[in-house]
Structure 1
Amino acid sequence: MSMSTTAQPSTESKESRLKRYLRDRAEDGELYFKGKFIAEDVGMSPKEIGALMVKLSDSVSDLEIEKWSYTSATTWRVAPA
Protein backbone atom coordinates (compact mmCIF):
# COMPACT_ATOMS: atom_id res chain seq x y z
CA MET A 1 0.00 0.00 0.00
CA SER A 2 1.46 3.34 -1.02
CA MET A 3 1.47 6.07 1.57
CA SER A 4 1.91 8.87 -0.94
CA THR A 5 -1.78 8.80 -1.84
CA THR A 6 -2.94 9.48 1.72
CA ALA A 7 -0.07 11.60 3.07
CA GLN A 8 -0.95 15.28 3.00
CA PRO A 9 2.19 17.40 2.95
CA SER A 10 0.25 20.50 4.02
CA THR A 11 1.24 22.36 7.19
CA GLU A 12 -2.25 21.67 8.51
CA SER A 13 -1.68 17.95 8.76
CA LYS A 14 1.75 18.41 10.32
CA GLU A 15 0.25 20.76 12.85
CA SER A 16 -2.57 18.39 13.74
CA ARG A 17 -0.16 15.44 13.84
CA LEU A 18 2.10 17.29 16.28
CA LYS A 19 -0.91 18.36 18.35
CA ARG A 20 -2.19 14.80 18.58
CA TYR A 21 1.27 13.54 19.53
CA LEU A 22 1.62 16.15 22.28
CA ARG A 23 -1.86 15.47 23.65
CA ASP A 24 -1.17 11.74 23.76
CA ARG A 25 2.19 12.16 25.46
CA ALA A 26 1.06 14.83 27.95
CA GLU A 27 -2.02 12.89 29.01
CA ASP A 28 -0.32 11.61 32.16
CA GLY A 29 1.23 14.91 33.14
CA GLU A 30 3.96 17.17 31.95
CA LEU A 31 6.35 16.32 29.17
CA TYR A 32 9.78 17.78 28.42
CA PHE A 33 11.45 17.23 25.08
CA LYS A 34 13.78 18.58 22.44
CA GLY A 35 12.54 18.72 18.86
CA LYS A 36 15.33 16.49 17.58
CA PHE A 37 14.24 13.68 19.88
CA ILE A 38 10.66 13.56 18.63
CA ALA A 39 11.44 14.43 15.00
CA GLU A 40 11.32 10.79 13.90
CA ASP A 41 8.13 10.09 15.88
CA VAL A 42 6.22 12.87 14.15
CA GLY A 43 7.99 12.70 10.78
CA MET A 44 9.23 16.29 10.79
CA SER A 45 12.52 18.11 11.06
CA PRO A 46 13.49 19.68 14.40
CA LYS A 47 13.23 23.06 12.65
CA GLU A 48 9.63 22.36 11.56
CA ILE A 49 8.77 21.21 15.07
CA GLY A 50 10.23 24.38 16.57
CA ALA A 51 8.21 26.60 14.25
CA LEU A 52 5.02 24.65 14.91
CA MET A 53 5.55 24.68 18.68
CA VAL A 54 5.65 28.48 18.64
CA LYS A 55 2.44 28.50 16.62
CA LEU A 56 0.76 25.91 18.84
CA SER A 57 1.69 27.75 22.02
CA ASP A 58 -0.57 30.57 20.81
CA SER A 59 -3.40 28.50 19.36
CA VAL A 60 -3.88 25.43 21.55
CA SER A 61 -6.04 26.02 24.59
CA ASP A 62 -5.96 22.58 26.18
CA LEU A 63 -2.18 22.35 26.49
CA GLU A 64 0.38 24.53 28.22
CA ILE A 65 3.33 24.91 25.88
CA GLU A 66 6.43 26.79 26.87
CA LYS A 67 10.08 27.08 25.96
CA TRP A 68 11.90 25.65 28.91
CA SER A 69 15.60 26.02 28.18
CA TYR A 70 17.87 26.96 25.31
CA THR A 71 21.02 25.00 25.99
CA SER A 72 22.23 23.52 22.67
CA ALA A 73 18.64 22.98 21.50
CA THR A 74 15.36 24.32 22.79
CA THR A 75 13.68 22.14 25.38
CA TRP A 76 9.91 22.40 25.38
CA ARG A 77 7.58 21.81 28.29
CA VAL A 78 4.06 20.61 27.50
CA ALA A 79 1.39 19.90 30.08
CA PRO A 80 -2.39 19.54 30.11
CA ALA A 81 -3.92 22.98 30.66
Structure 2
Amino acid sequence: MSATVAASADSPNLTEKQRRILEYLRSNADTQTYFKSRLIGDALDMSAKEVGTNMTALQDSDVGIDVEKWGYSSSTTWMVTS
Protein backbone atom coordinates (compact mmCIF):
# COMPACT_ATOMS: atom_id res chain seq x y z
CA MET A 1 0.00 0.00 0.00
CA SER A 2 2.92 2.46 -0.27
CA ALA A 3 3.51 4.99 -2.98
CA THR A 4 7.03 6.08 -3.90
CA VAL A 5 6.96 9.72 -4.80
CA ALA A 6 9.41 12.38 -5.99
CA ALA A 7 7.82 15.75 -6.86
CA SER A 8 7.40 18.89 -4.79
CA ALA A 9 4.63 19.96 -2.43
CA ASP A 10 3.72 22.66 -4.91
CA SER A 11 1.97 20.12 -7.11
CA PRO A 12 -1.12 21.80 -8.59
CA ASN A 13 -3.06 18.57 -8.09
CA LEU A 14 -3.09 18.92 -4.29
CA THR A 15 -5.94 20.53 -2.38
CA GLU A 16 -5.30 23.05 0.39
CA LYS A 17 -5.94 20.37 3.04
CA GLN A 18 -3.51 17.99 1.35
CA ARG A 19 -0.85 20.72 1.23
CA ARG A 20 -1.36 21.43 4.96
CA ILE A 21 -1.07 17.73 5.82
CA LEU A 22 2.01 17.34 3.62
CA GLU A 23 3.68 20.35 5.26
CA TYR A 24 2.89 18.89 8.70
CA LEU A 25 4.31 15.48 7.75
CA ARG A 26 7.48 16.97 6.29
CA SER A 27 8.07 19.19 9.31
CA ASN A 28 7.75 16.20 11.68
CA ALA A 29 9.23 13.37 9.58
CA ASP A 30 12.76 13.94 10.93
CA THR A 31 11.69 12.97 14.45
CA GLN A 32 8.80 10.61 13.80
CA THR A 33 7.80 7.87 11.35
CA TYR A 34 4.28 6.92 12.47
CA PHE A 35 1.39 9.39 12.49
CA LYS A 36 -2.19 8.90 13.69
CA SER A 37 -4.96 10.54 11.66
CA ARG A 38 -6.59 11.74 14.89
CA LEU A 39 -3.43 13.51 16.08
CA ILE A 40 -2.74 15.09 12.69
CA GLY A 41 -6.33 16.29 12.68
CA ASP A 42 -5.97 17.78 16.17
CA ALA A 43 -2.84 19.66 15.09
CA LEU A 44 -4.40 20.96 11.86
CA ASP A 45 -7.99 21.52 13.05
CA MET A 46 -9.41 18.73 10.87
CA SER A 47 -11.32 15.57 11.65
CA ALA A 48 -9.57 12.20 11.57
CA LYS A 49 -11.83 11.29 8.65
CA GLU A 50 -10.70 14.36 6.66
CA VAL A 51 -7.07 13.47 7.35
CA GLY A 52 -7.58 9.83 6.33
CA THR A 53 -9.26 10.78 3.06
CA ASN A 54 -6.50 13.23 2.21
CA MET A 55 -3.70 10.87 3.31
CA THR A 56 -5.01 8.32 0.81
CA ALA A 57 -4.79 11.00 -1.90
CA LEU A 58 -1.22 11.84 -0.82
CA GLN A 59 -0.39 8.15 -0.91
CA ASP A 60 -1.25 8.13 -4.62
CA SER A 61 0.45 11.45 -5.49
CA ASP A 62 4.00 12.48 -6.35
CA VAL A 63 4.83 14.53 -3.25
CA GLY A 64 8.33 13.41 -2.23
CA ILE A 65 7.38 11.07 0.62
CA ASP A 66 6.21 7.48 0.99
CA VAL A 67 2.88 7.03 2.79
CA GLU A 68 1.68 3.60 3.90
CA LYS A 69 -1.44 2.78 5.90
CA TRP A 70 -0.03 0.96 8.89
CA GLY A 71 -2.54 0.32 11.69
CA TYR A 72 -6.12 0.90 12.77
CA SER A 73 -6.27 0.95 16.59
CA SER A 74 -7.96 4.08 18.01
CA SER A 75 -7.31 5.92 14.72
CA THR A 76 -5.60 4.98 11.50
CA THR A 77 -1.83 5.05 11.77
CA TRP A 78 0.30 6.01 8.77
CA MET A 79 3.96 5.18 8.23
CA VAL A 80 5.63 8.12 6.50
CA THR A 81 9.17 8.03 5.12
CA SER A 82 11.08 10.24 2.74
TM-score by length of 2: 0.73
Equivalent of residue 16 in structure 1, options 15, 19, 25: 19
* Structure 1 stretches of at least 4 aligned residues deviating more than 3 Å after TM superposition: none
* Residue correspondences, number: 69
Measure the CA separation in 1 of the matches of 2:44 and 2:67: 17
Q: Which moved more, 1:48-57 or 1:12-21?
A: 12-21
**Runs of 5+ in structure 1 lacking a partner?**
1-10
**Runs of 5+ in structure 2 lacking a partner?**
1-13
Equivalent of residue 53 in structure 1, options 52, 55, 58: 55
Measure the CA separation in 2 of the matches of 1:42 and 1:71: 21
For residues 21-62 of structure 1, give each alpha carbon's deviation from its aligned partner in whole angstroms, at most 9, with x where no partner exists: 111111x26521211112121121100000000000010341
TM-score by length of 1: 0.74
The structure with the greater share of residues assigned to helix is: 1
Instruction: Kindly state the Cα deviation for residue 64 of structure 1 after the two structures are TM-superposed.
Output: 0.7
Equivalent of residue 33 in structure 1, options 26, 35, 48: 35
Identity of aligned residues (%): 42
Measure the CA separation in 2 of the matches of 1:72 and 1:48: 16
- Contact 2:21–2:40 (CA<8 Å) still a contact in 1? no
Write the letter of the residue equivalent to 2:62: V
RMSD of aligned alpha carbons: 1.8
Q: Which has the higher contact order (CA 8 A, sep 6+)?
A: 2
